[in-house]
Structure 1
Amino acid sequence: MSTLPEAVRCLSLDTAAVGVTAALADRGVDAVLLKGAGLARRLGQEGHRLYVDIDLLVAPASFDLAQRALADLGCVSALPEGRPDHRSHWYERPWRLPGPLSLTVDLHRGFHGVADPEALWTGLWSSAQRIRLAGGLVTVPDEAGAALLVALHAAAPGRSDRPRADLLRAVEVFPVDTWRAAAALAARTGALASFALGLRLTPSGAALAATLALPQQGTPALWLRAHRASPAALTIAQLAELSGVVDRLRHLGPRLFPTPASMRHASPLARRGPVGLLLAHLGRLARNAGQLPAALSEVRAARRDDRG
């Protein structure tokens, strides 16, 4: 069972989720609560599964309108001004809610591993269900949508152990037919490789993937992200998967030379005028160079595993 402060925080997040989705609806923006209390209920872990932010999915075409609505509500972007840098997933943008508590809305127009965000929105929204939460109503994915998201999150866990724990629980409680429907949704959204890889991260998930006859072939970049590789290794693997000089320069450029806004956001030194910004860039380049040998070793290991 969660402790009182954790329970209070989750209740605050639930209340905020109700308020934000209602405010978005007033502006003509539909939204789906991707995880949080909705996923906790699907997994039979209400009151036990903790969460730290509010993940809302909107239609890709509504993303900019939703951002303006959040700004009108007094929310502040947690990313540097201008275009998000490479460290921020293209499909989401975090916004800090006003108020005494530090609460964040992660506004999504897609999800990790999804090649067709519009198909994801259509698939999740068309089968979504309304649930009561904190004195209001929110829209959440159906069971198959939740299964898809759990597997995709396991394939991109960041530094958290929560995605793999959610996967273990989901494989235990969701029937095979639910996973079969989730696999079909993954195929429609171009997420089948990430879905299959996510499932195979646990023994029970791997057995389920075999039952569903999911494809085994992934990519080194997908493998590295799922296994929490270093950012440098992931960058190299992604670079190798691109074709053409222009695409590779677009990929590598912002990683080697982030925008001044991004540097100032991440580095106190970069905020100390032009000289500080230059020194921060030089220090970053030196760190990247020092990480290169280990990153190359990680990529070689990923390629061996991918072939196996």
Structure 2
Amino acid sequence: MNDLPSAVRCLSLDTAAVRVTEALAARGVEAILLKGAGLARRLGQERHRLYTDVDLLVAPASFDLAQRTLADLGCHSALPEGRPDHRSHWYERPWRMPGPLSLTIDLHRGFHGVTDPEALWTGLSASARRIGLAGGLVAVPDEAGAALLVALHAAAPGRSDRPRADLLRALEVLPVDTWRSAAGLAKRAGALPSFALGLRLTPAGAALATTLALPRQGTPALWLRAHRSSPAALTIAQLAELPGVADRLRHLGPRLFPTPASMRHSSPLARRGPVGLLLAHLARLARNVGRLPAALNEVRAAQRGDHG
């Protein structure tokens, strides 16, 4: 790790991870550091892998208490006031740490592709290991848990190249038996489609998926997210996969008409009073309409493609 500012930032994140973990433990909340320094050690990249936030997993039932604990530490939510922002995944909430550096704690009660978050917590916590970090101790996933998370993150990379790089490294250093155990964890957590899709994003991972006889049962929405398609295309694909009109309206409503708090959070124009808010809504609607043809083409391509 030759970049001194990045090294200082990672050390600050490690310190924040220990501080928050200890505060949670004082209130009876167990937490697991999902990535960061723990994953760097699993991948043999302690001196090379940089990270930008702290990802902590807690049991779903402990999520609200964990959020209150963060607030008591002086952290503040990075989401708009009024309700959780629909753009943030349901399974995580970002919190900003107080202090001169802008440090983020991503508090998780699940993970991308997981349909049974309780099973995820049970599986990861049962085999977690404690490591020394920044003068304290934190729990981290074992090798199989790390392999699971790497593949799931590759299936939902956002705009970052890091998840693909982590997957390539994990495929180099983790043995087949570890990946087989990870597939078992994925199955129990209802995450096998995303796990298999994440692996199949690379040639080595695709060969491993064949060795493990993983199913090809992904959906267009999963494929679009894994391939960094546009938010509009992803919204349309998710809409098509919902079972009923009421579910589709609940999905589409906040995306077409965000709350005033959400609009003011993302648009300077919306902060200029009621007229500015109205103009920001109209401009947003016009942009979405303009993106619709390209988004529909992306969805059609995903429907024709291989979703495994």
Which residue is 1:223 aligned to?
A: 223
CA–CA separation in structure 1 for the residues paired with 2:105 and 2:229: 26
Are residues 1:100 and 2:75 paired? no
* Residue pair 1:217, 1:306 contacting (<8 A) in 2 also: no
The 3-state SS of whatever aligns with 1:306 is coil
2:176 equivalent in structure 1: 176
Displacement after TM superposition at 1:225 (Å): 0.1
CA shift digits 1:150-177 (9 cap, x unpaired): 0000000000000000000001100000
Shift of 1:307: 6.5
Deviations 1:61-85 (A, max 9, x none): 1111000000000001100113212
SS in 2 for 1:106: strand
Which amino acid counterpart does residue 294 of structure 1 have in structure 2?
A
- Asked whether the 8 Å contact 2:128–2:139 carries over to 1, the reply is yes
1:276–1:129: structure 2 CA closer, same or farther, 3 Å change rule? same
Q: CA deviation at 1:202?
A: 0.5
Alignment of structure 1 residues 67-82 onto 2, 5 Å: 67-82=67-82
Structure 2: which amino acid aligns with 1:2? N
**Counterpart for residue 237 of structure 2:** 237
**Aligned-partner Cα distance in 1 for 2:41–2:29:** 25
- Following the alignment from structure 1 to structure 2, what is the Cα–Cα distance between the partners of residues 223 and 56? 26
2:121 aligned partner: 121
5 Å matches for 1:23-172?
23-172=23-172
1:220 partner letter: P
How far is the alpha carbon of 1:143 from its aligned partner?
0.4
Q: Deviations over 1:74-121 (max 9, x none)?
A: 001100113212111011000000111110100000000000011101
* Percent identity for Structure 1 against Structure 2: 86
Of 158-167 and 273-282, deviating more is 273-282
Q: Distance in 1 between matches of 2:60 and 2:216?
A: 30
In structure 2, what is the Cα distance between the partners aligned to 1:73 and 1:47? 30
Separation (CA, whole Å) in 2 of partners of 1:200 and 1:61: 33
Q: What is residue 185 of structure 1 aligned with on the other side?
A: 185
Distance in 2 separating the partners of 1:22 and 1:84? 26
Mapped contact 2:42–2:143 kept (Cα < 8 A)? yes
**Structure 2 counterpart of 1:288:** 288
Alpha-carbon offset, residue 291 of structure 1: 0.2
Q: Could you tell me how far apart the structure 1 residues matched to 2:269 and 2:247 are?
A: 31
Structure-1 separation of matches of 2:217 and 2:31: 33
Tell me the SS of whatever aligns to 1:236: helix
Question: What amino acid does structure 2 have at the position aligned with 1:196?
Answer: A
**Would you identify which runs of 4 or more consecutive aligned residues in structure 1 move more than 3 Å?**
none
Query: Secondary structure of 2:306's match?
Result: helix
**Is contact 1:263-1:270 (8 Å) kept?**
yes
The answer (yes or no) to whether the contact 2:219–2:307 under 8 Å persists in 1 is no
What TM-score results when the alignment is normalised by the length of structure 2? 0.99
Counterparts of 1:82 and 1:141 in 2: how far apart (Å)? 34
What is the one-letter code of the residue matched to 1:270?
Answer: A
Aligned to 1:3: 3
Mind listing any 5+ residue stretches in structure 2 that lack a counterpart?
none
Contact 1:219–1:306 (Cα < 8 Å) also in 2: no
Q: CA contact under 8 A between 1:58 and 1:109: conserved in structure 2?
A: yes
Equivalent residue letter for 1:173: V
- Is residue 264 of structure 2 the alignment partner of residue 264 of structure 1? yes
AA partner of residue 64 (structure 1):
D
Structure 1 residue 306: Cα displacement:
3.1
How big is the alpha-carbon RMSD for the aligned residues of Structure 1 and Structure 2?
0.9
